[in-house]
Amino acid sequence: MVVDQLIEWLGSLLSWGPGSPLIFLTAVLIAGIPIFLLMAINALVSVYAELKISAFMQDRVGPMGQGPGLHAGKWGVLQTLADALKLLSKEDIIPEFADRKLFIIAPFVIFIAPFIALAALPFNQNLLISDLNIGVFYILAVGSIGVIGIILAGWSSNNKWSLFGAMRSAAQIVSYEIPVGLSIVSVIMLTGTLSMQGIISYQEGTILGILPNWIIFNNPFSFIAFFIFFISGVAEVNRTPFDIPEAESELVAGFHTEYSGMRWSFFFLSEYANMLIVSGVAAVGFLGGWHSPISGFLESPGWGLFWFFFKIGALIFVMMWFRWTFPRLRVDQLMNICWKVLIPIALLNIFGVGIWTLLKG
Partner 1 sequence: MSKYFYDIWSSISSSMIGMGITLKHMFLIRKGNVTLQYPEEKWPRPDRNIGFEHEDYNVIRSRLHVDMDDCIGCLKCARACPVDCIKIDIIKVPKGSDIGTTSNDTKKRLLVPRFDIDMTECMYCNLCVYPCPEECIFMTGGPNSPKHPIDYEFSEYNREGLIYKFATVTEEEVQKYTEPELPEQPSEGESAD
Interface with partner 1 (CB under 8 A):
53, 56-61, 64, 66, 70, 321-322, 324-326, 341
Do 326 and 240 touch, CB atoms closer than 8 A? yes
Which CB sits closer to partner 1, 185 or 318? 318
Phi, psi of 99 (to 5 degrees): -80, 100
Question: CB neighbours (10 Å) of residue 66?
Answer: 10
Dihedral (CA of 20, 22, 23, 27) sign: positive
Which CB sits closer to partner 1, 9 or 56? 56
Question: CB neighbours (10 Å) of residue 14?
Answer: 13
Question: CB neighbours (10 Å) of residue 200?
Answer: 25
Q: What minimum distance in Å lies between the beta carbon of 70 and partner 1?
A: 6
344 Cβ contact partners less than 8 Å away, ≥ 6 residues apart:
none
Q: What minimum distance in Å lies between the beta carbon of 227 and partner 1?
A: 9
Beta bridge partners of 206: 212
Q: What minimum distance in Å lies between the beta carbon of 318 and partner 1?
A: 9
List alpha helices for the chain, DSSP H.
2-13, 21-57, 79-89, 100-117, 135-143, 145-156, 160-191, 196-202, 215-218, 220-236, 248-251, 261-286, 301-323, 331-336, 343-360
Which CB sits closer to partner 1, 264 or 286? 286
Which CB sits closer to partner 1, 63 or 135? 63
Which CB sits closer to partner 1, 203 or 279? 279
Q: What minimum distance in Å lies between the beta carbon of 60 and partner 1?
A: 5
Q: What minimum distance in Å lies between the beta carbon of 322 and partner 1?
A: 8
Which CB sits closer to partner 1, 187 or 319? 319
Which CB sits closer to partner 1, 59 or 332? 59
For the chain, the residue count is 361
Measured between alpha carbons, how far is 64 from 89 in angstroms, rounded to an integer?
23
Which CB sits closer to partner 1, 69 or 209? 69
Measured between alpha carbons, how far is 319 from 241 in angstroms, rounded to an integer?
10
Measured between alpha carbons, how far is 6 from 24 in angstroms, rounded to an integer?
9
Q: Quick one: DSSP state of residue 341?
A: I
Do 228 and 346 touch, CB atoms closer than 8 A? yes
Q: What minimum distance in Å lies between the beta carbon of 147 and partner 1?
A: 27
Q: What minimum distance in Å lies between the beta carbon of 333 and partner 1?
A: 10
Which long-range contacts does 18-27 make (Cβ < 8 Å, 24+ apart)? 27/3
Which CB sits closer to partner 1, 100 or 330? 330
Measured between alpha carbons, how far is 2 from 13 in angstroms, rounded to an integer?
16
Phi, psi of 206 (to 5 degrees): -130, 165
Q: What minimum distance in Å lies between the beta carbon of 56 and partner 1?
A: 4
Q: What minimum distance in Å lies between the beta carbon of 337 and partner 1?
A: 9
